[in-house]
Amino acid sequence: MHKQKKEIYNFQSEVKQLLHLMIHSLYSNKEIFLRELISNSSDAIDKLRFESISLPELYENDSDLKIQISVNKAQNTLIISDNGIGMSKKDTIENLGTIAKSGTKAFLKSLEQQKNKKNELIGEFGVGFYSVFMVSDHVSIRTRFAGTQSDEGVLWESSGEGEYKITNIIKKNRGTEITLFLKKEEAEFLETWRIKNIINKYSDHITVPVYMQNYDEKNKTYFWEKINQAKALWTLNKSSITDEEYKTFYKNLTHDQHDPLVWSHNHVEGKQEYISLLYVPQKAAWDIWNRDNKNGLKLYVKRVYIMDNSHEFLPNYLRFIRGLLDSNDLPLNISREILQNNSITEKLKKALVKKSLNMLDRLSVNNVEKYQVFWNEFGLVLKEGPAEDHENIEKIANLLRFTSIKNNNSEQNISLKKYVSNMHEKQEKIYYITADSYLSAKNSPHLEIFKKNNIDVLLLSDRIDEWMMNYLVEFQGKKFQSISKEDISINKLTKEKKINNNEISQDMINFLKKTKTILGNKVKDVRFTNRLTETPCVLLSDSSEMTTQMAKLFSAAGQSIPELKYIFEINPEHLLIKKICFINDEKIFNEWITLLLDQALLSEKGHLDNPHEFISRMNKLLLKK
C-alpha cells in the first residue's frame, strides 16, 4: 500500500527572503510568472529530449511532448502541466526549497545594495519559479520523474511563507503539473485572452507546443487549442522574422528587459553546418566583471537543446554577446569536456568570432549613436581583445574608440581610422599617452609640443589601456608611439629647432653638468629639450624601458619590478630654469635640482615616495628671498 505521509520542510533562509520580496514588493509586471513557468516546463521537456538520446525508455511510450494550460474559474485556479522530465522527491526539495543558483544569491545581494531599483531588478534576474507567489495564495505541484517503474510521485504544497509540505502520491503520467490558487485580485489570469496574450508575448517561439483548454459552448465540450507557434525562431527564414520577434526572443532568452542593440542571424551550410543567432545587449549583465560570469551561448545540436551558457564558442573579450548556436556537426551526446577539446568547436568559435566582429563593425558604420552606446557599455571588455586574439587584431583595433587632445572631452568616440585620416602629411606614427585619469593625460607636459604643433594625441586613461597598447603595435601600417617614451619622430613634424649645445650659453652648459653630478644615478640621463613650453622639466622613459603606467600595473598585481630610471629633460627656455642657473649657493642649488626632479616625478607618476620631504623642501625654498 502507498503511504500518505506528509512531511513539513522549512525553506532555506535565502528563499524566505526572496519569497518575502515577491509577495510584498509592488512589482507591476506580475504576468512574468507565466513566462517563468512555461520556460521551466519547456526546459523540462528539453531535458527529457536530451536524456532520452541515451535512455529512450524515459519516454514511456509517450513522445508527444507538450505543455497544457487550463483554468477553473469556480476554484480560482490556473493549472500548467508538462510531460517533461519531472522531479523526484529529492529534486523538489533541492530545486524548490533552496536557491542553488549563485545568480539568485547575487540577485538578493544586489537588491540590498540598490533598494530603489528593486522592481527593475526582479525583471532583470528572472527569478524563476518563486515568482508564482506574486499572484497566488497557495501553490501545489504534482510531479513524477520520467522513466520510473512505479507511479510514485510527489505532491509539493506551499503558501510561500516559511514552509512547504511534501506528500507521496500516485501519478500516472510523468512530468509536472502546477496548480496556482490565485489571489482574488489576480483573477485576470483566468481569462483565456489574457493567457494567450502573455504566451504570445513571451513564449511564442519556444520549441514546445503550448495548448490551452477551451470550452465549446455549442457542443458543450472541452477541446485543446494550440496557442503558440512552437517553431524554434532561429530555424525560420530571416525574411519571415520581424524585428519585434527578434527582440522578444532575445528578452526570453536572456531575461534582459532592454532591447538588444543589434543582432546577427545566420544559416550556414557547406563544410560546417550551423545556425547562429547572436545579439549585442544594450546593458552589461550584472556579472560581466565576475571571473566566473555565467553567460554564454545556448547550445543546440540538430534542434535538440544541449546546454545553457556554453563558453567554448566565444573568447572572453566577446563575453557580452548573447544568443544561441545550433550545430549540425557536433554529436548529440556531447559533454562540456568533449566540447572543450574538439576541432569542430574550434572551427565554430573562429566563425562566430568573425560573425560577432562583423556585426559590431556594421553597427559602427551604420549607426554611430548605437555604436557609442555599445562602446560606453562594453568598450572595456573589447579592449581585452588585442591581447587575447592576435589573429583578429586589425579588426578589433578598428572597433576601438579613443579620446584625444582635439576631442576636447573625455568621451571615447574617435576610431583609429579617423585618427589616421587626420594625421599630418609627414606624420608616421600614431601618438598616444597613458595616464591614471583623463585629466592627468590631458594635462600632461608631454603633450606641450604636440599641442603647439597641432598634432593630435590619443589620451588613454583606462586601467587596461597600457596593457592593451603592449599588443597593439600598428594600425594601417602606422606604428603606435607612446609620447612619454623617448622618440625622435616628432622632430620631423615640428617647427622647433633641435637643441644645439653650441647655441646654449656656457652658464646653461655648466648648469647641465652640475645637475648631472647632483642627480648621479637617480636618472638615466639629463639633457635639454625643446618639447616643453609651460613646464620646466619632464621625465621620459627610455625606449627600451617599461613605462610608468606599465610599472603601476605590475605593482598593482603584486609583482616586484626594478626601479624605473628616467631621462630627465630640462627646458632651458623656462624662467625657473634660467633663475636656478644663476644660483651660486651650492646647497640651495642642490635643493632646487632635487625639487625639480620631484616635480617631474610627481607629474609622471601621480605620487611621490616621500611627499613630506618634497613639501618641506618646497616651503624652505619659497621662504628664501
Q: Point out which residues bind ligand ADP (CB under 6 A).
A: 36, 40-41, 43-44, 82, 84-87, 95-96, 128-129, 176
CB of 32 or CB of 580, closer to Mg ion: 32
Give the nearest distance from C-beta 276 to ligand ADP in angstroms. Answer: 23
Place of cell 627610455: 542
- Rounded to 5 degrees, φ, ψ at 137 are -80, -30
Q: Does 52 bind Mg ion (CB under 5 A)?
A: no
Which residues are bridge partners to 98 per DSSP? none
**Binding partner of residue 296 among Mg ion, ligand ADP, none, CB under 5 to 8 Å per kind?**
none
Secondary element (H or E) of residue 282: none
Q: Which residue's CB atom is positioned nearest to ligand ADP?
A: 128
Radius of gyration of the chain (CA): 33
Distances (CA, A) of 423 to 148, 225, 334, 382, 457: 73, 66, 52, 25, 10
The letter for the amino acid at 406 is: K
Q: Does 386 bind Mg ion (CB under 5 A)?
A: no
Q: Which three cell numbers stand for residue 288?
A: 560581466
Question: Cβ(389)–Cβ(315) under 8 Å?
Answer: yes
Report the C-alpha gap between 226 and 203 in whole angstroms. 12
- Rounded to 5 degrees, φ, ψ at 520 are 50, -130
Secondary element (H or E) of residue 7: strand 6-10
Report the C-alpha gap between 99 and 105 in whole angstroms. 7
**Binding partner of residue 84 among Mg ion, ligand ADP, none, CB under 5 to 8 Å per kind?**
ligand ADP
CB of 41 or CB of 461, closer to ligand ADP: 41
Question: Could you tell me how many residues make up the chain?
Answer: 625
Q: Does 128 bind Mg ion (CB under 5 A)?
A: yes
Give the nearest distance from C-beta 339 to ligand ADP in angstroms. Answer: 21
Give the nearest distance from C-beta 261 to ligand ADP in angstroms. Answer: 25
Binding-site string for Mg ion from residue 557 to residue 596, where x marks contact by CB under 5 A and - marks none: ----------------------------------------
Q: Which three cell numbers stand for residue 98?
A: 533552496
Give the nearest distance from C-beta 126 to Mg ion in angstroms. Answer: 7
Annotated binding residue 415 = no
CB of 136 or CB of 404, closer to ligand ADP: 136
- From the list 125-133, 157-165, 282-290, 535-543, the region that binds Mg ion by CB under 5 A is 125-133
| From 11, 34, 37, 40, residue interacting with Mg ion (rule: CB under 5 A) | 40
The letter for the amino acid at 238 is: K
Q: Does 84 bind Mg ion (CB under 5 A)?
A: no
Annotated binding residue 95 = yes
Query: Residue 547 gets which letter from DSSP?
Result: P
**Binding partner of residue 176 among ligand ADP, Mg ion, none, CB under 5 to 8 Å per kind?**
ligand ADP
Which residues are bridge partners to 184 per DSSP? none
Annotated binding residue 618 = no
Annotated binding residue 303 = no
Q: Which three cell numbers stand for residue 68?
A: 497544457
Give the nearest distance from C-beta 99 to Mg ion in angstroms. Answer: 12
Q: Which three cell numbers stand for residue 380?
A: 572595456
Annotated binding residue 87 = yes
Annotated binding residue 336 = yes
Annotated binding residue 254 = no
Give the nearest distance from C-beta 91 to ligand ADP in angstroms. Answer: 6
CB of 35 or CB of 383, closer to ligand ADP: 35
Give the nearest distance from C-beta 558 to Mg ion in angstroms. Answer: 41
CB of 107 or CB of 378, closer to ligand ADP: 107
The letter for the amino acid at 559 is: Q
The letter for the amino acid at 556 is: A
Question: Cβ(510)–Cβ(455) under 8 Å?
Answer: no
**Binding partner of residue 480 among Mg ion, ligand ADP, none, CB under 5 to 8 Å per kind?**
none
What 446-449 contacts at long range (C-beta under 8 Å, 24+ apart), as own/partner pairs, is 446/483, 446/484, 446/531, 446/538, 446/540, 447/405, 447/483, 448/531, 448/532, 448/533, 448/534, 448/535, 449/490, 449/494, 449/496, 449/530, 449/531, 449/532, 449/533
Give the nearest distance from C-beta 46 to ligand ADP in angstroms. Answer: 10
Binding-site string for Mg ion from residue 311 to residue 330, where x marks contact by CB under 5 A and - marks none: --------------------
Sign (positive or negative) of CA dihedral 297, 288, 127, 29: negative
CB of 51 or CB of 361, closer to Mg ion: 51
CB of 205 or CB of 442, closer to Mg ion: 205
Residues forming contacts to Mg ion in the complex (CB under 5 A) are 40, 128
Which positions make up the binding site?
Answer: 36, 40, 82, 87, 95, 101-103, 176, 336
Which positions make up the binding site for ATP?
Answer: 36, 40, 82, 87, 95, 101-103, 176, 336
